[in-house]
């Protein structure tokens, strides 16, 4: 799905995927672990089920369970990496900032219709329950750009700086993925402009409700 991003918002950076090479295998019942924080299989399944319920209710929607699961797990690993990056860089995010970003996005991209906004994000792979976390990621990414590449105007160089830093964080913490879900490759996992950047589909865009993994 092709999404249009409003100038006022910055895309959430997502490490591009569950790819090759990993560290150790997480304990039973764990889908992934980032440092000392685990994402349980139960939590992952609940989120994917929520997304499936939203997506399959959309007109003309299709569903790919494997791709959706990969997307949700990738996003959640990335959220943890961004949280750690924020901690290391002394970046704080308030609930007020999150609420404002979401409110601005609803107004700018869905004509103030929150239900439509939620549908758009579900179609692009973000369930309603994770919209606040996605907004938090946007805010952290914006702050990281300013801290890691101050004064740089080349977007490619700025994104490269953020990617390199998040890769460093991932290497430091260790990202372990249960074999059934794939493996995490900190060398090739890139930062992509994902569809869950709090923007909405452009006019005439098709509503493909088969969430694609970041970077696809």
Q: Does domain 3-201 have CATH number 1.10.4030?
A: yes
Q: For residues 18 and 74, is the Cβ–Cβ distance under 8 A?
A: yes
**What's the mean pLDDT when you consider all of the chain?**
78
For residue 209, is pLDDT > 90?
A: no
Q: For residues 213 and 192, is the Cβ–Cβ distance under 8 A?
A: no
Closest-CA residue to 44 (of 30, 59, 63):
30
Least-confidence region, from 77-81, 164-168, 189-193: 189-193
Q: For residues 93 and 136, is the Cβ–Cβ distance under 8 A?
A: yes
pLDDT band at 193 (very low <50, low <70, confident <90, very high): very low
pLDDT for res 26: 62
The residue to which tokens 């890691």 are assigned: 148
Q: How far apart are CA 41 and CA 16, in angstroms?
A: 20
What pTM was computed for the model? Answer: 0.78
Instruction: Parse the chain into domains and list their residue ranges.
Output: 3-201
Q: 90: how many CB neighbours lie within 10 A of its CB?
A: 8
What are 2-42's pLDDT values in tens digits? 333 333 333 343 444 434 334 456 677 999 999 989 999 99
User: Residue 3's beta-bridge partner residues?
Assistant: 201
Residues 52, 53, 54, 58, Cα dihedral to 10°: 90
Q: For residues 15 and 190, is the Cβ–Cβ distance under 8 A?
A: yes
What are 104-135's pLDDT values in tens digits? 999 988 899 999 999 999 998 999 999 999 99
């Amino acid at each position: 799905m092709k999404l249009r991003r409003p100038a006022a918002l910055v895309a959430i950076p997502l490490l591009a995927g569950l790819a090759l090479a990993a560290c150790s295998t997480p304990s039973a019942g764990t889908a992934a672990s980032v440092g000392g924080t685990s994402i349980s299989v139960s939590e992952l399944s609940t989120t994917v089920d929520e997304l499936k319920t939203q997506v399959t209710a959309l007109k003309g929607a299709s569903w790919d369970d494997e791709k959706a699961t990969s997307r949700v797990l990738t996003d959640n690993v990335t959220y943890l990496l961004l949280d750690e990056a924020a901690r290391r860089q002394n970046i704080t995010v308030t609930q007020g900032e999150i609420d404002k970003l979401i409110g601005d996005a609803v107004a700018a991209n869905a004509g103030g219709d929150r239900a439509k906004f939620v549908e758009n994000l579900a179609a692009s792979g973000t369930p309603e329950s994770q919209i606040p976390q996605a907004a938090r990621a946007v805010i952290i990414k914006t702050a990281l750009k300013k801290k890691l590449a101050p004064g740089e105007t080349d977007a490619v160089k700025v994104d490269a700086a953020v990617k390199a830093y998040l890769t460093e964080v991932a290497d430091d913490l260790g990202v372990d993925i249960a074999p059934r879900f794939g493996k995490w490759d900190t060398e090739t996992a890139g930062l992509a402009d994902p569809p869950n950047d709090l923007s909405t589909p452009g006019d005439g865009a098709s509503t493909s409700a088969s969430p694609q993994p970041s970077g696809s």
